[in-house]
């Protein structure tokens, strides 16, 4: 039993198990969670012949260094990631969007993401994980999900429940592009801000701050002046909402966000841009561009079509 496992030599900075996340729990204070970059999550699973909603390991910046023990298994990494595979004395440079076979004793060293934040590791099989509300997604703030709600740590084991004997070599030609203009629909408190503040929001550049994680992304720029009230009555939030607290700097809600918030909402990032938004590294410069609801829906259709297209190419 469980003779197949990874030994974690180095866990990486923020490595967690993720899947599609959990629905219908905002009202009790539990956010979606789930893989930050949905497209790369789906592609990782397809590359190893898994179901589209199987758990994967998400890592940020520096990924895990793993030693594999067990029967041969297929793996794939998506995102923009540098990694190496050590097989005996052979050291192979890994490539994203391509499946690789790991054998007993092989090491997989996920060195870093390049000019991006998140990457994904899928295996041709299922990890032995705890599910809560039908999702394994780890929410480290609320201690919910697999691995007791904690990120992976050095020297622990990752046990594999089952290997699907799917050793087809799969490959996809795909390059992640970096977003510079984040498309946004005006928020419900747009009119809380001065004319000058609104102009700054849509015309000026903002810098992604170091204080960004799975909960939210903080941005720095010219102060967006509020002329009504810097607080609102606390109300529900969703992924992509851009709140502006009293200091005038925007904060974008990401997958592990608090479900309720009391800062005015200046805008909401369109669904089509979410995957690329989360990949912005601290220091990146971005601009916000206004779109209306109709265009946002069209953009999402295009985004979804492109994703389906990529999946069908594998």
Partner 1 sequence: MIKNISNLGDAALYCDFGKDVNKDINTQVIKYFKTIQKKNILGVNNITPSYNKLIISFDLKKINFNKLKKIIDNIEIIKGDSIQNKKFEIPVCCEKEFSLDIKRLEKKLKMKEEKIYESFFEKEFFCYMTGFIAGMPFLGDLDENLRAKRLDTPRVKVPKGSIGLTEQFANIYTFESPGGWNIIGNTPLNIFDSTKEKEPNLINPGDLVTFKRITKEKYQNYYE
Q: Which is nearer to partner 1, 248 or 258 (CB)?
A: 258
CA-to-CA separations, 21 to 77, 166, 224, in angstroms, rounded: 20, 25, 33
> How far apart are CB 129 and partner 1 at their closest, in Å?
15
Q: Which is nearer to partner 1, 154 or 247 (CB)?
A: 247
Instruction: Tell me if 81 contacts partner 1 by CB under 8 A.
Output: no
Stretch that binds partner 1, among 56-64, 86-94, 182-190, 244-252 (CB under 8 A): 182-190
CA-to-CA separations, 86 to 99, 100, 106, 157, 225, in angstroms, rounded: 15, 12, 6, 19, 54
Show the site string, 223-262: x = touches partner 1 by CB under 8 A, - = not.
----------xxxxxx-xx----------------xxxx-
> How far apart are CB 92 and partner 1 at their closest, in Å?
38
Stretch that binds partner 1, among 108-116, 120-128, 138-146, 194-202 (CB under 8 A): 138-146
According to the 3-state scheme, what is the secondary structure of 102-137? Answer: ECCCCEEEEEEECCCCEEEEEECEEECCCCECCECC
Stretch that binds partner 1, among 39-47, 55-63, 220-228, 266-274 (CB under 8 A): 266-274
- Residues 267 and 237 sit within 8 Å (Cβ to Cβ): no
- β pairing state of 181-186 and 5-10: unpaired
Instruction: Tell the residue number behind the tokens 């794939």, with chain if given.
Output: 76
- Residues 272 and 240 sit within 8 Å (Cβ to Cβ): no
Interaction site with partner 1 (CB under 8 A)? 23-30, 32, 132-133, 141-144, 149, 185, 187-188, 233-238, 240-241, 258-261, 265, 268-271, 293, 296-297, 300, 304
């Amino acid at each position: 039993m469980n003779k197949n496992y990874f030994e974690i030599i180095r866990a990486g900075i923020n490595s967690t198990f993720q899947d599609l996340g959990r629905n219908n729990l905002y009202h009790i204070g539990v956010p979606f969670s789930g893989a930050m970059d949905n497209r790369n999550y789906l592609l990782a699973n397809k590359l190893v012949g898994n179901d589209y909603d199987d758990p994967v390991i998400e890592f940020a910046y520096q990924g895990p260094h793993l030693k594999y023990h067990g029967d041969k298994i297929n793996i794939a990494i998506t995102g923009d990631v540098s990694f190496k595979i050590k097989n005996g004395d052979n050291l192979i440079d890994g490539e994203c969007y391509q499946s690789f076979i790991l054998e007993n004793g092989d090491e997989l060293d996920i060195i870093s993401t390049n000019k991006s934040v998140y990457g994904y590791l899928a295996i041709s099989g299922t990890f032995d994980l705890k599910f809560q509300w039908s999702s394994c997604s780890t929410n480290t703030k609320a201690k919910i999900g697999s691995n007791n709600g904690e990120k992976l740590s050095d020297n622990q084991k990752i046990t594999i429940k089952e290997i699907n004997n799917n050793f087809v070599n799969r490959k996809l030609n795909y390059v992640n592009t970096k977003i510079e203009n984040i498309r946004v629909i005006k928020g419900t408190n747009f009119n809380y801000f001065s004319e000058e503040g609104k102009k700054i929001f849509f015309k000026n550049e903002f810098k992604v701050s170091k204080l960004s994680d799975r909960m939210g992304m903080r941005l720095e720029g010219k102060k967006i002046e509020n002329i009504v009230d810097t607080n609102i009555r606390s109300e529900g939030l969703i992924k992509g909402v851009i709140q502006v607290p009293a200091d005038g700097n925007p904060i974008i809600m990401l997958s592990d966000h608090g479900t309720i918030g009391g800062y005015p909402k200046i805008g909401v990032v369109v669904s089509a841009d979410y995957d690329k938004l989360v990949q912005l590294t601290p220091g990146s410069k971005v601009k916000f561009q206004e779109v209306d609801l109709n265009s946002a829906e069209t953009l999402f259709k295009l985004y979804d079509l492109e994703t389906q297209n990529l999946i069908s190419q594998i």
